[in-house]
Amino acid sequence: MKMQKIETLWIHLHWLTVLAQQGTYTAAALRLGVSKAAMSQRIAELERAAGVPLVQRTTRSVRLTEAGARLVDEMRKPFEQIADSFAGIRDLANVPGGLVRVTAPVAFARQQLVPRLSDFLRSHPEVRIELELSDHISSLAMEGFDLAIRHTAAPPDTHVAWQLCTTRTVLVASRAYLRRRGSPVSPAELVEHDCLHYPRAQETPTWHFVPRRRAGGNVQRTTVPISGSLAANNSEALRDAALAGAGIALIPDFSAQAALATGKLVEVLPDWQSVGAFAEHVFALRPYAAHVPRSVSALVTWLRSAFAGGF
């Protein structure tokens, strides 16, 4: 068989790197905007040209062979340089444009980010945003994201970070639940209530509190073992359960904001501050890069302005 010229395989090589990032043919095809069949055909052509298998296929995902992993590792930086060079040429037009891939936590994105994005898109008509809502901490570089919104105590040192806003954790319940079960007047009384909580690693769920108005000096932390009929790893789910009268929920303020404003939920133990349940800051993060597309810089600038006043 006549060997295929390497010049005809540039697209195949790029598609292999995307397949390695995405983990499945379906996800890679979606990322590239092509059919799964086309994706599979290009990889098969590349394997025939290379003369060795590059991908091991399983029922749910793909894994690179040693040869495939070596090829992807050696091609990653050249393709990143090509992308940076092209982005730099696009930016000569002085108009932000192109695709910006963003990942953000589900609850924060749905309640705070998405309602604000229309203003940005109207003022930057050449920019397109692809938003992935996920509480999974993604590798921005490996999964091809330009920007991440993170609710975290401390951003990683490997990324450039901008603080967008501060948050606080609130204890909330419906009026119907409090009429039925009574309102606790101290954290210790929470042991008698149905506590809707975010599942953590420890065997016995606990909540920690300090007085919100501190008189100075060392403040003793109060730790309360809690129990309840529902735990969920999403603050919207906990909020909705509280709205339905299922118990007292400990959630970030951005999830409770609207329900508190309308009186559908009320704050419980307002003189006490939760400690350690959720982070107190929301950041925008991007990987370090020699060149940052103008569209990404424009989105970061807009996000910092949009959230400067809080929620």
Tell me the per-residue pLDDT of 93-137, one tens digit each, with 9 for 90 and over. Answer: 567 788 899 999 999 999 999 999 999 999 999 899 999 998 776
Q: List Cβ neighbours of 129 (8 Å cut-off, separation of 6 or more).
A: 99, 100, 101, 102, 117, 120, 121, 299
Is the four-CA dihedral 72, 78, 83, 84 of positive or negative sign?
positive
Check pLDDT > 80 for residue 2. Answer: no
The architecture (CATH level 2) of 169-213+220-274 comes to 3-Layer(aba) Sandwich (3.40)
pLDDT in tens, 171-201: 999 999 999 999 999 999 999 999 999 987 7
Interior CA angle at 287 toward 283 and 289, to 5°? 135
Superfamily of domain 96-167+280-306: Periplasmic binding protein-like II (3.40.190.10)
Among left, alpha and beta (phi > 0; psi -120 to 50; other), residue 94 is left
CATH number, span 6-89: 1.10.10.10
Neighbours of 161 (CB within 10 A): 17
The reply to whether 169-213+220-274 shares the fold of 6-89 is: no
How far is it, in rounded angstroms, from Cα 81 to Cα 205?
A: 48
What is residue 90's predicted lDDT score, i.e. its pLDDT? 61
| Structure-token pair, residue 207 | 């909540």
How far is it, in rounded angstroms, from Cα 133 to Cα 151?
A: 13
Residue linked to tokens 């133990």: 269
- Which one, of 205, 201, 210, 211, lies nearest residue 193 by Cα? 205
How far is it, in rounded angstroms, from Cα 167 to Cα 210?
A: 17
Q: Where are the domains of the chain?
A: 6-89, 96-167+280-306, 169-213+220-274
Under the banding of pLDDT at 50, 70 and 90, the label for residue 261 is very high
First to last CA, the chain: 64
The SS3 assignment for 306 reads helix
When pLDDT is averaged across residues 131-149 and rounded to a whole number, the result is 80
